[in-house]
Amino acid sequence: MSGRCCRSKLSVWAALCVLVLCWFYVFPVYRLPSYEEIVDEVSRQGHAWRKNHTGIHVYRKLLTECCDPQRIFAVTKENSPIGKVLWYDGELYKSHTVSNDTYPLFVQDSPLRRPLKKCAVVGNGGVLRHSGCGRDIDDADFVMRCNLPPLSKEYMEDVGTRTHLVTANPSIIEKRFQNLLWSRRSFVESMQAYGSSYVYMPAFSMQPGTEPSLRAYHTLADARSNLTVLFAHPDFLRSVGAFWRGRGVHARRLSTGLFLASLALGVCDEVTVYGFWPFAAGPDPGRRPVSHHYYDDVLPYKWFHAMPEEFVQLWRLHTAGTLRMRVDQCSPPPPDGGEGEERVGTGG
């Protein structure tokens, strides 16, 4: 009897040890720099940035080996034939088997072919407000944007107008467009801001997001839109998550911005990211308040994502010359708060 009791206690302790080890793997004990330390580091670095060709090549090689962004960033007819099982990266033991219904919705093969030269990855952070970065963004050869941001005239000077790829999370389809179950016109009209770009959707990341994503595809197809819907490959999302987890970013899910930055690092010769600043006060000497998005007045809050951790990792790449982060003004605001000269943007 006592022998069985000891074995039972040992089993309990072994199980507890496994749980503790798993906890430290997912949430390791390390110290994230404070906001003040991060701002001091950003201030010391200033506007100086020097491109590191070796660092860019090394990081592209790392991302290619782990995640193969050029081949599997999107689900295609080439990498996902009929019968292929796509395992959701955001849910355990959930999958979608490619069928005669879904296979025709996929593009033939990956549309992103190297070399893409200068790429801009544009987040939606409030640090973009009054940044004057619109012209710099539009000068890039390939512009990626996050989560269907507004690109109206009032934001043009700060965020530009050109788009080549824009992400659309199913949650946006649900909240902003009522899952496209009623009127679809407002969705089609709002998507015209992105011209003839790619719309990148995580249809096979979590099961509740599949139907809204497919509905978005059919809505745009029925409207004969110039946009091309791409579905994110869950293997790419999963491998990118593991890549950054091994570098100190531990969150239930990476932000859309970090996924796009990873894609850009894998396929572009030069990457500049804009609008990535997850703090409620800016990096300027006056520490001006910074809103969560450039188009609202809500202050940043604790997210589903680990935004400060992501920022620290990207800033390290910035200081190494592997990518460039713009958290300062690209050009001074027009005098007297004017709008500056009007520019007409294109979607491609």
Dmax (CA) of the chain? 87
Mean pLDDT, all residues of the chain: 86
Q: Supply the pLDDT for residue 63.
A: 96
Q: Indicate if the pLDDT at residue 14 is higher than 90.
A: no
**Higher-confidence position of 31 and 259:** 259
* Token pair listed for 5: 């009791």
Partners of 87 in the β-ladder:
95
**Higher-confidence position of 47 and 65:** 65
**Alpha-carbon distance 229 to 198, whole Å?**
6
pLDDT tens by residue, 250-290: 877 899 999 999 999 999 999 999 999 988 888 877 778 88
Q: Supply the pLDDT for residue 335.
A: 57
Q: How many CB atoms lie within 10 A of CB 242?
A: 12
- Kindly state the average pLDDT of the residues 88-112: 95
**Alpha-carbon distance 292 to 280, whole Å?**
8
Q: Indicate if the pLDDT at residue 8 is higher than 80.
A: no
The model's pTM is: 0.85
Q: How many CB atoms lie within 10 A of CB 286?
A: 7
- Kindly state the average pLDDT of the residues 67-80: 96
**In the Cβ-directed half-sphere of 333, how many Cα atoms lie within 13 Å?**
12
Q: Supply the pLDDT for residue 268.
A: 95
Q: Supply the pLDDT for residue 286.
A: 75
- Kindly state the average pLDDT of the residues 26-36: 58
In the chain, % of residues over pLDDT 70: 84
State yes or no: cis peptide before 115, omega within 30 of 0: yes
The per-residue DSSP string of 2-13 comes to HHHHHHHHHHHH
Q: Supply the pLDDT for residue 318.
A: 95
Q: What is the DSSP letter of 337?
A: G
In the chain, % of residues over pLDDT 90: 67
